Structure 1
Amino acid sequence: MKKIITALLIAIFCMATIAVAADNNPDVVLEAKIQSATIALDKNGHSYGRVIIEEKRTLSGIAYTDTAPVMFFGDLADKAKGLKKGDTLKCIAQRNIYQGRVTYNVKALM
């Protein structure tokens, strides 16, 4: 009986951890100045776009500016062809963090 309860508690903990991790990448509204913009083809011949933006961040009370890549795929890559350095990017994007670096995948242009 004790083993069953322990196994059940472990299963509940694992499910709760997965549920919390699933909503770890929220959608955000981006409005930032473009530092560089590139449209290219991937190895399958599909176009994609990569835009580098400046972001203001704060760490331990110290404000600084950092860059972050914003990626466009599919039809959005074709719409992003008009973007160039100095423009203001306005979009809805999914924010991802991998090994401490922030990236964005665009879901819609505004």
Structure 2
Amino acid sequence: MRQIPVDTSAASVMVAQPPQPKIKDRRTGEVATDTETGATLMTVNVMFAANDTVELLPVTVPETGISGDLAMGTPVALTGLIARPWERDGRHGVAFRAVAVTSLTAGATKPKAA
């Protein structure tokens, strides 16, 4: 699967919606997990502002990669952000995944070790 690194150095990123468990199957409520580590996957909706454009992006991140208080409006850093184009059943889009989402407010802690 193609993975495109996303440069966030010139962007302003803040939490639009706090982390929620990523649901794998809506019918059963099964929560998604990382296939390699088994970590629970979370979705953090962020406002990504760069080049006079603002977008809301759902970013998938392992629960162990979430650090600090990620309340709405909190400025954050996205470590290892990648974009993955996808297509299924005639639908298509881009999924975003990060290794970590870290609060940039005072008192933020580093991501937990995996």
TM value normalised by structure 1: 0.52
Choose from 36, 48, 72 the match for 2:41: 48
Contact 1:52 1:69 in 2 (8 A): yes
Choose from 80, 84, 108 the match for 2:71: 84
Contact 2:21 2:32 in 1 (8 A): no
Could you say which residue in structure 1 is the equivalent of 2:82? Answer: 94
Q: CA RMSD in A?
A: 3.4
- Fraction of identical pairs, as percent: 11
Distance 1:47 1:81 in 2: 17
Asked whether 1:105 is paired with 2:97, we answer yes
Larger Rg: 1 or 2?
1
Per residue, is there more helix in 1 or in 2?
A: 1
Could you say which residue in structure 2 is the equivalent of 1:25? Answer: 4
User: How many residue pairs are counted as aligned between the two chains?
Assistant: 82
| Corresponding residue SS for 2:4 | coil
- Cα distance change on mapping 1:33 and 1:43 into 2, 3 Å: closer
TM value normalised by structure 2: 0.50
